[in-house]
Amino acid sequence: MSGATGALTADPTWDLLEDDTIVILGRAREYLSGLTDLIEECERDRRFPAEIVRPLVDVGFIRGPIPISDGGLGLTHLQSASLMEEAGRAWASIRTTTNIMTLVAELLSHAGTPDQKKEFLTPLLSGDRLGWFAITEREAGSDAGAVATRAEPLPGGGYRLSGVKSYITNANHGDFGIVLATVDPNLGSRGITAFLVERSDGYRTIEHPHMPVRAVSSCDVELDRVVVGPDRVLGEVGRGLSLAMHGVNGGRLNVSAGCVGIAQACLDASRTHVTTRKQFGKQLAEFQLVQKMVVDIATRTAAARELYRSSARLLDSGIDARVACSMAKYFCAETAVAVATEAVQVHGAIGLTEGHPVERFFRDAREATIPEGTSQMQILQIGRALLGVSALR
């Protein structure tokens, strides 16, 4: 590994990674480290800086896992997830945004026609378009099969979309999205179909300010009789839900890695704080209880990192890693929450101050237990795999 990225190879969390992965992470960290001033401004103003998308693409985000034949980099799951750890460590809003755009790119690469790839995927991978993915509704969150947004078939072969999607990341600043809607409610999940929708088609977004990842938009997307042509069906009619599941392992893995990034940031901040702040005439680091808190943060972070990396390696080997990715998502998300809580405690009153990094880590960690399947849904899916009994249906 010597000489791969100069001084950056000193990071002990990279010790077991291959040289090419270290180079990728080094480039990403170098870019992300220059965003510090932008973070405070955008979090305060709840603004997503669209100007950073192209540089993020250049260092490997979004196009990383896409095959070279489609304009991507062909990165492994481990490499892509490791990038997401870097994003989580620097700014969780980037991890959230790029994870969704990566999912959109993966679905287009997997199921898009040549024309769809030319119109949507190619500009997405160059940073010229911003995409979003809409499956969730007020009454269809964990139960994705309950999608009620309707896609009414038209005589000319197109569809009229009507319904409201909720909590949709990127929709406020993105210019196109993938919408899951049913062509026939009587068919249940077998009627759910994926459609490509552009802003010019006439959908409306309503922003909902939220507690975590404040530089990311979270919107309702209102589709009021939005008409799309037959060429906007992504994949096969009635196969939208299975298409969405195509990217589920990668999505959960990316969230897991981002959570480890948050945990690592908590560890970095806590170590600096306890070795520079004094109380009762000595460093905080000299107190036994403080040492225990920092040790717990470090141990949990290391364990979570090993779990997501082992899951990534399973995916890269071609093994069915659904359970492993669910375990990683469950454990890493809950670890981020626990670690961020400890980091706030380590910092004391200043850790509760809005604008302080650990206050942001705490909010962002809490978000991770919900998207890409809540912790409770992961437990139920893992339980079904282990016990052979479903607690859902």
Task: Give the burial class of 54: count Cβ atoms within 10 A of its Cβ; 0-12 exposed, 13-18 middle, 19 or more buried.
Answer: exposed
The DSSP H or E segment spanning 198 is strand 192-198
d(CA 199, CA 126): 19
Query: Is 372 part of the annotated catalytic residue set?
Result: yes
Residue ending a domain, among 125, 143, 174, is 125
- Identify the pLDDT of residue 5: 44
Q: Are residues 153 and 280 in the same domain?
A: no
**Can you give the CATH number for the domain in which 106 is found?**
1.10.540.10
Place of tokens 């001084």: 7
Q: Are residues 103 and 146 in the same domain?
A: no
Q: Is residue 210 part of a domain?
A: yes
pLDDT in tens, the chain (393 residues): 333 444 444 688 998 899 999 999 999 999 999 999 899 999 999 999 999 999 999 999 999 999 999 999 999 999 999 999 999 999 999 999 999 999 999 999 999 999 999 999 999 999 999 999 999 998 877 777 789 999 999 998 999 999 999 999 999 989 999 999 999 999 988 999 999 999 999 999 999 999 999 999 899 999 999 999 999 999 999 999 999 988 899 999 999 999 999 999 999 999 999 999 989 989 999 999 999 999 999 999 999 999 999 999 999 999 989 999 999 999 999 999 999 999 999 999 999 999 899 999 999 999 999 989 999 999 999 999 999 999 976
Q: Are residues 347 and 252 in the same domain?
A: yes
**Can you give the CATH number for the domain in which 336 is found?**
1.20.140.10
Could you tell me if 180 and 241 are in contact, meaning their C-beta atoms sit under 8 angstroms apart? yes
Dihedral over Cα of 268, 271, 273, 275: its sign: negative
Q: Is residue 263 part of a domain?
A: yes
- Identify the pLDDT of residue 143: 75
Q: Is residue 141 part of a domain?
A: yes
Q: Is residue 392 part of a domain?
A: no
Phi, psi of 276 (to 5 degrees): -120, -20
Q: Is residue 294 part of a domain?
A: yes
Domain with 38 in it: 6-125
DSSP per-residue letters across 317-346: TT---HHHHHHHHHHHHHHHHHHHHHHHHH
**Can you give the CATH number for the domain in which 188 is found?**
2.40.110.10
115 SS3 class: helix
Q: Are residues 116 and 153 in the same domain?
A: no
Q: Are residues 24 and 53 in the same domain?
A: yes
Q: Are residues 44 and 164 in the same domain?
A: no
Residue ending a domain, among 125, 143, 175, is 125
Catalytic residue among 106, 342, 367, 372: 372
- The structural domain count of the chain equals 3
Q: Are residues 303 and 212 in the same domain?
A: no
Q: Is residue 322 part of a domain?
A: yes
Dihedral over Cα of 310, 316, 322, 325: its sign: positive
Q: Are residues 23 and 99 in the same domain?
A: yes
Report the candidate in 268, 276, 319 with the shortest Cα–Cα distance to residue 294.
Answer: 268
Q: Are residues 262 and 359 in the same domain?
A: yes
Residue ending a domain, among 94, 125, 156, is 125
Q: Which residues contact 288 (CB under 8 A, 6 or more apart)?
A: none
Place of tokens 């959960």: 252
Q: Is residue 393 part of a domain?
A: no
Q: Are residues 266 and 371 in the same domain?
A: yes
Q: Is residue 1 part of a domain?
A: no
- Identify the pLDDT of residue 10: 60
Q: Are residues 204 and 272 in the same domain?
A: no
Q: Are residues 187 and 280 in the same domain?
A: no
Could you tell me if 48 and 97 are in contact, meaning their C-beta atoms sit under 8 angstroms apart? yes
